[in-house]
Chains A and B, each alone.
Chain A
Amino acid sequence: MPRKAKKQKSRGVVDTNVLVAGISGFREPYVRGKNTSADVLYKWAEKGSFVWLVTEDILDE
């Protein structure tokens, strides 16, 4: 019997631009749809919607 393919979570690097823009979206109480970058961060915290990869360069930034 063929093995059921395991659904893999998407993996991605969040660029520093997106991260900082997303953070700045939390200055006021978070409202979905107001800031796309903040939505990415909120969704990641809420559902773990993707595997957040980091690179040394981005950590450095």
Chain B
Amino acid sequence: MQKQRLKLKQASAVLQIEPKELQNLVQFGVVKPKRFEGTYFFDTNTLMVAKVAFCLKESLGTRTSVLSKLMDVFLASEKEFKADNPKYIVFKCRLSAEEDPIKVGVPFRALGEQLQEQMIRAELYRDLPRGRKRRGWKKEFLESLTEAAKEIGEVSDEEILQTVRAYRKERRAPEITVAAES
């Protein structure tokens, strides 16, 4: 992954998280981007922390107080994880001294790959006035449509409909499994 420093909006586009959600993770100390002249900058390490934290929050509803502890531990080993690039990383979390720890696996490699794929979004979310406020917006928009149309090629309305229907059918609900582990 390239060395990049992204602003919050760019980072949220890359992470595919609402800017407000990312801001909350920052405010609660779960994600700790560097701050320069009042602006947060997210490097690749911070992006990965945010990705893992958001995955835990979204999938399991993990509280921010717990998340920030988990992310501190994760950050301490991140370099090692990056080098090994394991398929999964497993958080062990003991909630009280009397109990055995619980284990939660996070698909580290897949999340890293998602991040890499979405990096191109950073360029699209530069700090420009949004939408119609930007000079030449309409021309830009119509040109984008023409370019996209060329990429799509010749397709009939029926083919479009079938493709969208097939995609919607394919989209499955998340699976939950449990398995014994010694």
Tally of contact residues, B, Cβ under 8 A: 18
**Is B160 a contact of A17 with CB atoms below 8 Å?**
yes
Q: Is the interface of B mostly helix, strand, loop or mixed?
A: helix
Known: A17-B160, A17-B164. A23 touches B138 (CB 8 A): no
Would you give the 0/1 interface string for A21-34, flagging 1 where the beta carbon is closer than 8 Å to chain B?
A: 11111110010000
Q: Write out the residue numbers on chain B whose beta carbons fall within 8 Å of the beta carbon of A23.
A: 145, 148-149, 152
Q: Tell me whether B132 and A24 are in contact (CB under 8 A).
A: no
Contact at B149–A26, with CB atoms within 8 Å? yes
Residues of chain A contacted by B134 (CB below 8 angstroms): none
Chain B residues with CB under 8 Å of A26's CB are: 142, 145-146, 148-149
- A20 adjacent to B145 (CB under 8 Å): no
Are A45 and B160 in touch, CB under 8 angstroms?
no
- Total number of A residues with any Cβ neighbor in B under 8 Å: 17
Contacts of A17 in B (CB 8 A): 157, 160-161, 164
A27 CA to B138 CA, complexed, in Å? 17
Known contacts A45-B142, A48-B132, A61-B167: A27-B154 contact under CB 8 Å: yes
Q: Is B178 an interface residue (CB 8 A)?
A: no
Whether the pair A61, B164 counts as a contact (CB closer than 8 A) is yes
* Cβ of B135 under 8 Å from chain A: no
B76 at the interface (CB under 8 A from A): no
- Taking A23-B148, A61-B164 as given, write out 8 further A-B residue pairs in contact, using a Cβ cutoff of 8 Å, ordered by the A residue number: A20-B155, A21-B157, A21-B160, A22-B145, A23-B149, A27-B149, A30-B142, A46-B138
